[in-house]
Amino acid sequence: MNQHDIDNNGYIVKLKRHFTFRNHLCLVFELLSYNLYDLLRNTNFRGVSLNLTRKFALQLLSALLFLSQPELNVLHCDLKPENILLVNPKRSAIKIVDFGSSCQIGQRLYQYIQSRFYRSPEVLLGIPYDMAIDMWSLGCILVEMHTGEPLFSGTNEYDQMMKIVEVLGMPPTHILEQGTKTKRFFDRLPDNTWIPKKSKERRYRAPGTRKLHDVLGVDAGGPGGRRVGEPNHSVSDYVKFKELVQQMLEYDPKRRILPFNALQASFFKRTYDETSIINHPSSATTTAAVATNILLTNTNNNGTNNVNSLLQQNNSLMTNHSNIPLSSNLNSNGSPNLDPKHNNLHPAISEARKVTNKTNHLHINGRE
């Protein structure tokens, strides 16, 4: 991957060298900073602004676009906040790390992939998967970065699927009929319709009754009304964000939005925030100009997506972003404020975030 990213436009961690030590393969990567879960913890799990969420989305979509190039066709298979690292603790530039579960199209190695909160319906249902699974994970991540809470925080695979159904409604029949594990989650009625399998442990809301609109607080001032009156958190901004996330969380992987199309979403038409421009007026004109150009469709004479051109434009835009401070809520050494008063987890994720080290492998309870 690094050989295809000579201009450093792919937002992928750089492998510096590798060697063998006592029959162990050792990999040396570039030094990066804190991960996005650390950043969420620094907000006391209240989430980052819509503007910062937008900056992260732009970079992560560019990374997925880079990985989707025909000469790569790489599935990450484990996108989550813990695997997205800040390049600098005071800036918004990020890179994706941990390709330990990754594979290429046609060379799928594992059935059990993706951390549970970010696991796609096709993986849960036992349907052959492709690069669309990473787009699903990204949709979940973006909501979590802004709200501070996982969108689907299942304690097991059944609970995970039911929490997806609460928000998105029932999966299409043709998707359910493809799954080898569908009957773990759904019952088929005599008229060939499907309903959620009932649980003895807990009751769930009716399918589709926990609206994404309400989770995001589209017309209520953001999640929990916490963004009322903040610049660039208007109803229009939230509608654009919700529309993009909905396309990322499409049940049918064939209809799920592609990275190239997602980068042209209306959500990215505003790519800088007013607060940053006040503090960095010299960058305002340049950033706005690049933001206007980035949304142009890049095609060659045959109508093929010009991936490299779009990546270069995105990188130009994010170069401006990386010079904008990430947050004023940092310690004097530039690290996120991880003092005990910021370490109280939201009840929905307190157990899921406990870390245990087993057989030299790091597990996140509830997120494996």
Quote the CA–CA distance of 144 and 352 in Å, as a whole number. Answer: 14
For residue 267, give every residue at least 6 positions away whose Cβ sits within 8 Å of its Cβ, in sequence order, or none. Answer: 54, 57, 240, 241, 243, 244
Helix (H) or strand (E) holding 364: strand 361-364
Quote the CA–CA distance of 270 and 128 in Å, as a whole number. Answer: 37
Query: Which position among 78, 134, 159, 273 bears the catalytic label?
Result: 78
The tokens 């038409």 sit on which residue? Answer: 269
Quote the CA–CA distance of 258 and 253 in Å, as a whole number. Answer: 10
C-alpha distances out from residue 201 to 101, 166, 204, 245, Å: 32, 16, 10, 30
> Is 78 known to be catalytic?
yes
Amino acid identity of residue 174, one-letter, is H
Tokens, residue 356: 């245990």
SS3 158: helix
C-alpha distances out from residue 27 to 21, 87, 346, Å: 10, 18, 35
Active site residues: 78
